[in-house]
A and B are shown apart, each in its own frame.
Chain A
Amino acid sequence: MARTVLQQADIARALTRVSHEILESNRGADDLVILGIPTRGVLLAERIGELIGGIEPGSDPAGMVGALDITMYRDDLAKHPTRTPQPTQVPRQGIDGKTVVLVDDVLYSGRTIRAALDALNDLGRPRAVRLAVLVDRGHRDLPIRADFVGKNLPTSRAERINVRLSGLDATEEVTIEG
């Protein structure tokens, strides 16, 4: 039975807070690049970009946000049917010397983020890399932690977290199942 843990308003509040925290930690929007990890991370990155644009006058959300596909860097390719990669789109300014904020929906084992760090390494040399996630559900396999967290959600490994976002899904909510 699925149980809703975040509703649309909760998600909006969490993303607003995360956007403020990113700006605070970066001391503004300069040299900031926000890269979402497909599929839902890209949508979240776009929303954070828009929120930052609203908070920080003069910033350019479109020139700040991009997508980082990590399919080719996964460590579990041989364990699943072949995945179709998604496009990687880096903002025109590039990532060299920038502060890159990686955005994903759920932080779990940390393997996706490990792959993202490798992918980033092949794209250039950022000044710093930060991590923003909507939900941190624990159970890390690797020494990775998020800098900005929408919601810490203690779970058991048997449970399933579903993130649904309008734009991709019929509803907008985070549920827990199992």
Chain B
Amino acid sequence: MRHLLSTRDLRRDEAVRILDIAEDMADVQNREVKKLPTLRGKTVVNLFFEDSTRTRISFEAAAKRLSADVINFSAKGSSVSKGESLKDTAQTLAAMGADGVVIRHHASGAPQVLAQSDWIDAGVVNAGDGTHEHPTQALLDAFTMRRRLHGTASRGRALDGVRVVIVGDILHSRVARSNLWLLETLGAELTFVAPATLVPVGAETWPASVGFDLDAALAEVRPDVLMMLRIQSERMHAAYFPNAREYARQWGLDDERMAALRPDTIVMHPGPMNRGLEISSGAADSAQSTVLEQVANGVSIRMAVLYLLLSGEREALS
């Protein structure tokens, strides 16, 4: 694997391989010495054009546990915010000898532009681009589902027949898109639920069912997995829905809806949560919630991805 830009172009065997390697990485997380010497001498740059402390520290922990050197390049307050181009930034990182670039960018496709360019010959990991994709989030979500559903018998398995409902701002969510393609590849059955204003045009062509009514969807699907997406307050101001109260009432996971779930339905959230808006505290803190597992699993998944991108011989440019 040379880059990880999206889940859409991951084959099933590649996806399962990443999840399996993440199992090995998770084993390492459980021992006293949590470090591996694998990427000693390699340099990973976290190139963040958008604030995301959670994602950045997760990648940072992953790279450090593989013994890579980590450089954090935050575009806020740097020359980038003064108009330096992606090209100049990339060439600067290349001159510093970066082997891997973990990029978070507000523009969809920026990681792909970087990977396709001749500005830098580094492995590129998409850590979230605009409203396009966030592939490591989807991989850690799949990993979390697989561990909850199959336990120690997870290795080698996909998610065939697993019923997943994802609720919230599908329109602006890169997490939803990455989950869409990965869950399809792994054989899960996906349903999106959102107000019609937050369903993307053309979503009817996607490999997922789309509904507007959360209660109807939960009653019909009886999901194995319920994933709540973060709702951003600026959406209210752009008339996607009238106000927070109406959103919470229609599409929030409140205690009542939580109680109606199957007792073994797992509840996921990519974080950070708006408690009381898309998810109640009762739901977020319940035994069915995997919120903290997702954080821990994020490090394992990112270790697996960095290992696959940076440890082997550099593959020829495709």
Q: Residues of A at under 8 Å CB distance from B?
A: 69, 72-73, 77-88, 118, 121-124
Stretch at the interface among B180-188, B199-207, B308-316: B308-316
* CA of A81 to CA of B1, assembled, Å: 9
Closest to B309 in A: A82
> Is B21's CB within 8 Å of the partner chain A?
yes
Tell whether, in the assembled complex, residue A82 and residue B1 are in contact, meaning their CB atoms are under 8 Å apart: yes
Main secondary structure of the interface of B (DSSP, over half): loop
* CA of A72 to CA of B66, assembled, Å: 9
**A77-B38, A81-B315, A87-B24 known; A122 vs B33 contact (CB < 8 Å):** yes
Main secondary structure of the interface of A (DSSP, over half): loop
Please, which residues of chain A bring their CB within 8 A of the CB of B33? 121-123
Tell whether, in the assembled complex, residue A78 and residue B36 are in contact, meaning their CB atoms are under 8 Å apart: no
> Is B172's CB within 8 Å of the partner chain A?
no
Among B21, B24, B31, max chain A CB count under 10 A is at: B24
Q: How big is the B interface, by class?
A: 20 to 34
Q: How many A-B residue pairs have CB under 8 A?
A: 51
> Is B59's CB within 8 Å of the partner chain A?
no
What are 23 A-B contacts with C-beta separation under 8 Å?
A: A72-B37, A72-B38, A73-B36, A73-B37, A77-B38, A78-B311, A78-B312, A78-B313, A79-B313, A80-B312, A80-B313, A82-B308, A82-B312, A82-B313, A84-B20, A84-B21, A85-B21, A121-B33, A122-B33, A122-B35, A122-B36, A123-B33, A124-B32
**A73-B37, A118-B37 known; A88 vs B27 contact (CB < 8 Å):** yes
* CA of A80 to CA of B312, assembled, Å: 6
Tell whether, in the assembled complex, residue B31 and residue A122 are in contact, meaning their CB atoms are under 8 Å apart: yes
Closest to B23 in A: A87
> Is B251's CB within 8 Å of the partner chain A?
no
Tell whether, in the assembled complex, residue A69 and residue B313 are in contact, meaning their CB atoms are under 8 Å apart: no
**A69-B24, A88-B24 known; A123 vs B31 contact (CB < 8 Å):** yes
* CA of A123 to CA of B32, assembled, Å: 7
